[in-house]
Amino acid sequence: MHVVPSNGANIPALGFGTFRMPEDEVLAILPKAIALGFRHIDTAQIYGNEAAVGTAIAQSRVPRPDIFLTTKVWVDRFRRADLIASVDESLKKLKTDYVDLLLLHWPKSDVPLAERIGALNEVVKAGKARHIGISNFNAAMTEEAVSLSDVPLATNQVEYHPYLDQTKVIGAARKHGLSVTAYYVMADGRVPKDQLLREIGAAHGKTAAQVALRWVVQQEGLVALSKTATESRLKENFDIFDFALTDHEMQAIHAMAQPDGRIVDPAELAEAWDD
């Protein structure tokens, strides 16, 4: 699989996300995803499914070093001691000695960013995370986080799909060698029904969903998270590396962005977004 180099991390360009997947669902579908070829797996403490993710990885025949595993620290564990303890809890649930990527899940917190970033650095130095990063950070906070970290940050995981312009966030990431990991690429079910994306897909013998995923990974330094609990959709999501969108098609998809395109916007967790 194509990988995205990100300040020392080599992140598989297509990941399997587990947001809103209960443990029984994870145990049913993740082994099939791994068997199909998915090697980038994304979870988080707040998802409540780290133990199931760990079981699926441990029971697969894939060596742990061949899996790129991401988890995230929730906002109530951002104090230094809490963050370090929470990582130990995650590792126990995930049945592993380390994660490949550890992220701060959201930016808004009473805990100074320097303390949060410092704790992430300690986790790396302890060998419990290979790489660290941020999630849902705007461009200005990305700059601040980069300036505070001794260890280069690997990614900023953000909402990104054809209806949302993330030019500023992507630019800030590229400036410092970070990748951008896109979640909600299907825009909460809107993408598969989109007429333009379906027409572009028809020209390539692909679905609208495959077009959106391809649009993400075809951009420099971008990683796409896919998600499904349906086995038949796994292969559809995985088969995006055997075609390429034309420059015209890429620009047509970029032009779909709308001022009100953002879907995920919790006021208690997010800082002001970029215009």
Residues 94 and 124 sit within 8 Å (Cβ to Cβ): no
Give the DSSP letter string of 147-197. HH-SSPEEEEEEE--TTS--HHHHHHHHHTT-EEEEE-TTTTTTGGG-HHH
Distance CA 153, CA 174 (A): 11
Residues 109 and 144 sit within 8 Å (Cβ to Cβ): no
182 token code pair: 């896109």
C-alpha angle 94/72/167, rounded to 5°? 140
For the question of residue 184 being annotated catalytic, the response is: no
Catalytic residue, from 47, 160, 183, 184: name it: 47
Q: Which residues contact 15 (CB under 8 A, 6 or more apart)?
A: 38, 40, 41, 42, 68, 70, 181, 223, 224, 225, 226
**Where do we find the tokens 């598989």?**
12
| H helix intervals, the chain | 23-36, 50-59, 80-94, 113-125, 139-148, 167-175, 195-204, 208-217, 231-238, 247-254
Does the annotation place 105 within a ligand binding site? yes
Residues 70 and 103 sit within 8 Å (Cβ to Cβ): yes
* Half-sphere exposure for 100 (CA within 13 Å, toward CB): 21
Annotated binding site: 105
Annotated binding site for substrate: 105
**What are the catalytic residues?**
47
